[in-house]
Each structure stands twice: as structure tokens, then as C-alpha cells.
Structure 1
């Protein structure tokens, strides 16, 4: 067999190929697969046995172990002992391959016993052979390895997962967990290459992640000290169970690991704080039952449980806490953290409308407390609203610029598509990952929109419940700015009022012209009724009264509208100082003319229907007319009032209309969010 001599240097031991590396011959590979020791010996050259590799760097011993070729494995281990600890390009030893291939034989057992260093060697993923045995469900080898070196169960791979953690994850498939637990290995604090579990993932956390109380009970029964392990990011087991709302796990841990409730995580929060950041009221209830002195739990920011619930906008948790007994609630509602913020400040500052709504409506909550920046919750809401609006506008501008750039880029790309097809295909995979990563994040515009609506909604709530109270004098205090603004508005009103006044004058004049004809028609109808002996003296008297009333109102409307038109013309061509007074007086005259014109219209309808047997028609017409008249009067009222007073009245009325509309939507939203979880899956 042709061969090239190589030196067994450090690179080959690590599985890195040198220029003189050669591949294993096909016939030699077949002998190893069939465990044909005689043929193997006839083909192998002694000086090359240690130098033959597969494309991934596996030696002959790796191949023999993967095929469970015990005869060839024994021969190679005896004749070439250096192959036992050689690692391939992935830094796998022969024990890694045996673990992954599900192989476990006496020869493997003897090799491990004679070379214990194999058990702790890690590959490029950081996996020891025990990791791979647990992942692949190689139960026999896993039990053997952990019996020889119990601490292996706690070694972490590059993902921070120990074999024990992996055994919990794969418990339903592999069933190795109980065997690892029974090894009875003490939890290592340090090892040769650094910390063990303190920087890794706790197997208890894996059980909590699966929401498996059964695994927790099994762990506690055999190795209760595992319940105390802490994850660097997730905290202790109670922190993690609280964060995902695992009620059964919290109940179990509070009973078996009560000290965990008094430990802080890396962010300085106790488990009860983490529970209040979640949606599960039942978990919070469990903590308050076992730790009733809630005011004593302050995180590193000096925040109590109501602070963190309000900051995260957990309105249901806030509502539950406020519903507890007085001795528990009163020390929490108005307490200030290191920044002087009360729970209401935090709910407002983060735009959490639901939590702010629950807090501000509670009479025990003081909405006038100043934080360290001398801001009340309402002041903070106004500040946050302005800031959110600016950020949203800025993000909107940036989004528009990005879109224009994308369009321009797309046009350029389309013009050069043929020349870049090959390059695009090479980068397609990387671009796919970029797109996936981009879609996981909201655009600045969308994020700004969400924040903006949250902050504005919160400001609306605070406006009705916590805005500074104004006295009657404040409402009717007119600033010079409003006066100057009123002059400008009055110039615009002149033209509109003049049009209305002329229209009213024309309509009322036409009504007066039609009056003689109306009287003649009614007189003829009256004579016809008299001939039939059906009209009475009272009927005639009623007709006369309606006719005189119609005449009075029609003439009054004509006169008032004409005077208003003259006043407006005078104000438009005279001293500017007269504009405000003139427009105000003309608006009142036009308003009166419209009222009188409406009254004349009602009387004309009564005259037209006088003596008609259809009483319901008369009533219906009058009702409809009155309703629409009141609506028109309401719309015209701002024209009659002085401009400053108009703005004040309009502001008050609009506020109450907005108040009614806002809370209709808000309560509908709350009902919908509470109802949706109860609906069956579609």
C-alpha cells in the first residue's frame, strides 16, 4: 500500500492534519469494520499505523471503537498506546465515539480504567464522554463513567449544561437521571479548569423549565442540596420558578427550600419581586402566604413588591396586592425608592396604563408626592408624553428616510441584477439569518408608536384622577395671549357670520311674502269648513294666534339677521378695536334670528296641520324639530360666547366627552383581555 511517512507531532494529537497526512485505505477500513484481525495485520504497516486518519481526523482506533471491533481495538491499544488519547478534528477521543455510537464493551471499560484521563477530556463543544452518553441515551456507559468519576455529572459544556442538566432535559426519552442522582457525588465547588456549577445551568432549573414537579421531588429525595444551586442569570430555583409562573414548583420549593425566598439574584431582586413582575397572581398569593411581611423585601433600588409590579405594568398583580389587608398594603402604596418614586411614579414613567389606572383610583395612593426631581406623577406623565412624541416623530422621519434609501437601493439592484446573481447566491444563507434577526425586533417606528400610545393613555388617566385642581377663578382668567388670538379668530368669523345672517334674512323675507297667500288659503278653507258646520270658534281662534305668532317671529328673525349683517360690515370697515365686540354682538343677533326662524317654522307647521285628524304626525314633526334644534343650538353656542370663555367651556365639555369615550374603550379592553383566555381554542 502506498504511503507517506509523517511525524506524530502535537498537531496530529489534536486532530489537525499536516501536509503529510494520509487517508486510511479502503481495504484497511473494510478489515476494521469486519474485525478481521488477520487481514488487518497483513495490510497494516507498523511504522504507519499511528499516522493513518479519516477525513475528519479519526485514527484507526477511533474507527475500530465506532464499529465495536474488539479484536482490532485490543491489538491497536496494545501495539500503539498513543492512539488511546488521540483526538480527531473535533477533539473527540475514542470514548466520545463509543458514547455517541451507543457502544459499551469490556474493552472500552478496560481502556477507561487504564486511562482515566479519557473521562474528563472535552471536545470542541465542551462535551465530555458522559455528556455524549447522556445525550444519546447510552445508559450503560453513562452509569459506568459516573461510577468511576462522580464529579463528571457536574461538568459544564460550552452551553453551561452539565450531564445532570441534560439528563433532566432528556428524562422522558433516556431515563438516565435517577442513575446519575444515585451516584451520590458531592457538588464540586472548584475543579481543575475553574468553577463547576456556580457558572453553569442548574439541573433543578431544567426541571422547572419543563414544569415537572415529579423531577423536582426525585431530585429533592436523593440530593436535596441541588435545590440550592444558583444560576448566574436566572438566580436560584425559586427565582426561576417565579419568573415563569410555575405555581406547583413555587409551592414545592417554598416548603423544601424556604431559605431561597430570602436570597437576591444578580439584579438584587428577591423571588417575591420576580413573582410580582409576572402575570400569575396565584404565585404572588403563595409568597404572601408564606412571607407575610412584604414591606421588608426591598431590592437594590429600594423598591418593594408594589414598585416592581407597577413598573412592569402588571395591573392584575397590583389589584391583588391593593386588595390585601390594611397592615400589608399601607406600608407599600406611597413608599419611595432610591429615586423618590412611588409605585404610581413608576407606572406612569414606564407608560403602564393598566397599573396606573388601578393605583390612581385607590384612595390610599397619594398622587401629589414629589420624587427626587420634584415631579408629581402627573408632571412625570406630561414629561414622558412630550418625550415619547418627540421620539416617535424622530423614528417616523428615520423610517421614511430608510424607505427612500431602500427604494433607491432596490432600483440600483434591479438594474445590475444579472451581474450580481452569482454573488447573491453565495450570500443568500447569511442574508436569511440577518432577515430573521431583524424581524425579531420591532422597528424604531413601531416601538415608538407602542410607547407613545402607552404614555398618552397613562397621561389621560392621570388627567382625570391626579391633575392639579383648578379654582373657578382659574377657569375665567383670560391671558393677553388669548385676547390677541381672539382678534385673529374674529376676523375669520366675520365672513362666516355674514353669510349666515344674509341667508336667514332671505329665508325670513320669503316667509313674509308668502304670508298673504297663506291667509287667503286658510280663509277659504275656513269658509268651506263653516259650510260643512265642522269648524268651531276655538279652532278659528287657535289659527289666528298661530298666524300672529308666526308673523312676529318671522319679522324678528328678519330684523335680527339684517342688523347682524350691518354690524359685521361696520366691524369689517372700521377700527380694528371694534372687531371683537362687533363679532360678538353680531353672533348673538344671528343666534337669536335662528331661534326665531325656528319658532316661525314650527308655527307654520302647526298652521298647515291645523284641523288635521293625524295627531301623531304633528307630534312626530315637533319632536324631531326640537331635537335637531337643540343639537344646532349646541353647535352654535361657541360662536355666541366670548372667545376666551368659549375655549374654557369647550375644553371642559370636550374633556368630559373624552372621559366618557376613553373609559368606555378602556373597560371594553379590560373585559376583552380577561375574556379571551377563557375562550376555547379555535
Structure 2
């Protein structure tokens, strides 16, 4: 049996390039595939994890025989398991597949006493690229950082921790004395969100007294009442405007608490305020949709066109905003199950863009 200069056997090459059918045929002819390793002691699962070949990892986890499945916790000569390598090379889809499999050892240490999270952080620190100036490179770099973030979220969601290196390396931050850089970062973010919430409150307040089609002034018995009061879309308009109004006020009050100088309180306030702000933005968008449709409903083709456009431009920002604040890193089993398919969708989009950009 021959190998190349990197110690790769045909099995390794089939795994590296994702040739599942070739891999199946080769595995039938190898009595003990666990013994077939390259110059660094890596088996086919290690190679697939490094190269990002999700289909190979999925085949090993689901369809391969037990002897092949046992390779998911094998270590290379550096003590790295496939999870270590998938994490360090930022392969979020493979990390997700491995961490959802109960047979994978999530807390295994390599020869450097590192967990998969440690290996991820070390590789990220050593290979963190500078942010480029060209637009196309900025997009690719943004995709790269998103993939890194998703990998970290997946590791944190299953409880993978940093290996303990002794009490002397553990720092307990004082909540009343935050670092200057962190304080500035949170202060800028809080100030920006306060401006947005104030604008939403102002717009909602103005819209509540500037109703579509105005107020009734001709009928003495309905003096001051909305002209469109009995229209079907007037009710969601009022409901959404009211929600936006009080949602914006609530976000502002929460963010005022966040300015007391306590980092822990600021983080908690942001955690509550960001999704609430998303609700107010959504309801304001729906209110605009309903209000516009109220005044152009007699012209059916225009009303339908505007309705379709508004629905698209309401759902798209809502989807992006949800992905922004959704706690993908939560270790709560309910949140993990809820975020499973959104996580897969995001990784599919990012890895697709990353592949096309090569």
C-alpha cells in the first residue's frame, strides 16, 4: 500500500476531497481503517474535519460500520481529536455534527492540555487576518469572522470549557471597575441603541396622532374619531403603533439603567433591550404597511404591489435581526433545539459564499 509525501493513503485523499462512494469502496477493502494514518497520525475523520468535508463526517457518524465510527474520538500524534481540528479550523457545520453526537468526547484534552475550545482560540489568535480595505475582501473577511463566531457558539452551547491551567491564571473581574476599552465599547453601543429607541418612540407618537385619512370632523356624534376606524387594517395599525411606542419607551428606560457603570448590568440590559428593540422595529414596519394600505386600498394593483414589497422588506430585516441576537451559544437544551435549523441555514449561507469567493 503506497502513500504520498504527506503520508496520505487513498483513504485520506478520498476523505479530503469528499468522495463518499470512493471512500465506501476503499473502506470495504481495509480490514482496520483506524490503523491507516498519515505522517501526523490522522485518520480519515481528522482529514475530513480539517478540510471541512461535512458529508464525510456525516457518513462516518450515521452510515459507517462501528469500527469506522469509533474513529471519531481517535487522537493524532498531537493528541487532537477530530473535534479539536474542526474547531481550530473553524468548521461550524462539522463542529455541530460532532457535538450533537453523544458518542463524541467533548472534553478530551490534547497533548498541550487543550480542549477543543482552547484549540479554537489558539488557532484564531495565530491566524486572525487584518481587516482588508477592498470591498470584495471585506465581504469575504466578514464571512470568515461570522464562521469563527458560529464555531465558538457551537462549542459554548454544549458546555465545552477552557482547560484549567491553575488558579494563578484565573482573573475575577470586578463588576464596579470595568476595563476602559470594554466600558467605551458598551457605552457606544448603548448610546446608539438609545438614539434608535428614541426615534422609534417619536415616530410612533407622531403616527398615533396623524392617523391615515385623518379624523372625522363632519359628524358631530363621531367628532375626532378616526375616519378609517371600521376598516380591517386599522386595528393592526393601532396595535402595532401602540406596541412600538411603549416598546421604544421600555428600551430607553432599560438602557438608562445600563449607563450606571456596571458592566454586568450593562450586559444584562443589552441582552433584554436588543430583542425588545427588534419587536418595536418589526411592529413599526407592520404599522407602516397597514397605514399605507389603508389609504391606497381602492387602487387594487398598487395596494397589492406595496403589500408584497412591504412584506418582503419586513421579513428580511426581521430574519437578519433575529440571527443577530438569537442566543446560538445557549447551553439550554430547548434553545439548542430551536437554534438547530437556523444555525444550519446560516452556516450553509456563509460556507456557500466562502466557497464561491475562493
Q: When the two structures are superposed, what TM-score results if normalisation uses the length of structure 2?
A: 0.55
> Given that residues 52 and 94 in structure 2 are in contact (C-alpha distance below 8 angstroms), is that contact kept between their aligned partners in structure 1?
yes
Q: Of 171, 175, 182, which aligns to 1:479?
A: 175
Q: Which aligned pairs between 1:87-236 and structure 2 lie closer than 5 A?
A: none
Q: Which aligned pairs between 1:585-664 and structure 2 lie closer than 5 A?
A: 608-609=224-225, 614=230, 616=232, 619-629=235-245, 631-633=247-249, 635-636=251-252, 638-642=254-258, 643=262, 644-651=264-271, 656-657=325-326, 659=328, 663-664=344-345
Residue 306 of structure 2 is matched in structure 1 by none
Q: Secondary structure at the match of 1:480?
A: coil
Q: Which aligned pairs between 1:79-478 and structure 2 lie closer than 5 A?
A: 260=1, 263-325=2-64, 327-389=66-128, 391-392=129-130, 455-468=148-161
4+ residue runs over 6 A deviation: 445-451, 483-488, 610-613, 652-655, 670-674
Q: Of 667, 670, 677, which aligns to 2:348?
A: 667
> Given that residues 255 and 269 in structure 2 are in contact (C-alpha distance below 8 angstroms), is that contact kept between their aligned partners in structure 1?
no
Larger Rg: 1
Q: Secondary structure at the match of 1:309?
A: helix
Deviation at 1:314, TM superposition (A): 1.3
How far apart, CA to CA, are the structure 1 residues paired with 2:8 and 2:97? 24
> Given that residues 42 and 75 in structure 2 are in contact (C-alpha distance below 8 angstroms), is that contact kept between their aligned partners in structure 1?
yes
Q: Over residues 332-390 of structure 1, what are the superposed CA-to-partner deviations in whole Å (9 max), with x where a residue is unaligned?
A: 1111111010011112223334433332332222222121122211122222223322x
Q: Is the alpha carbon distance of 1:669 and 1:613 closer, same or farther for their aligned partners in structure 2, counting shifts above 3 Å?
A: closer
Q: Is the alpha carbon distance of 1:309 and 1:478 closer, same or farther for their aligned partners in structure 2, counting shifts above 3 Å?
A: same
Deviation at 1:636, TM superposition (A): 2.5
Count of paired positions: 258
Q: Secondary structure at the match of 1:609?
A: coil
How far apart, CA to CA, are the structure 2 residues paired with 1:345 and 1:381? 7
Q: Is the alpha carbon distance of 1:645 and 1:315 closer, same or farther for their aligned partners in structure 2, counting shifts above 3 Å?
A: same
CA RMSD for the aligned pairs?
A: 4.8
How far apart, CA to CA, are the structure 2 residues paired with 1:352 and 1:613? 55
Deviation at 1:306, TM superposition (A): 0.9
Q: Secondary structure at the match of 1:307?
A: helix
Gaps of 5+ in 2: 163-172, 210-216, 276-323, 329-338
Q: When the two structures are superposed, what TM-score results if normalisation uses the length of structure 1?
A: 0.31
How far apart, CA to CA, are the structure 2 residues paired with 1:462 and 1:331? 21
> Given that residues 48 and 56 in structure 2 are in contact (C-alpha distance below 8 angstroms), is that contact kept between their aligned partners in structure 1?
yes
How far apart, CA to CA, are the structure 1 residues paired with 2:130 and 2:105? 31
Q: Over residues 558-601 of structure 1, what are the superposed CA-to-partner deviations in whole Å (9 max), with x where a residue is unaligned?
A: xxxxxxxxxxxxxxxxxxxxxxxxxxxxxxxxxxxxxxxxxxxx
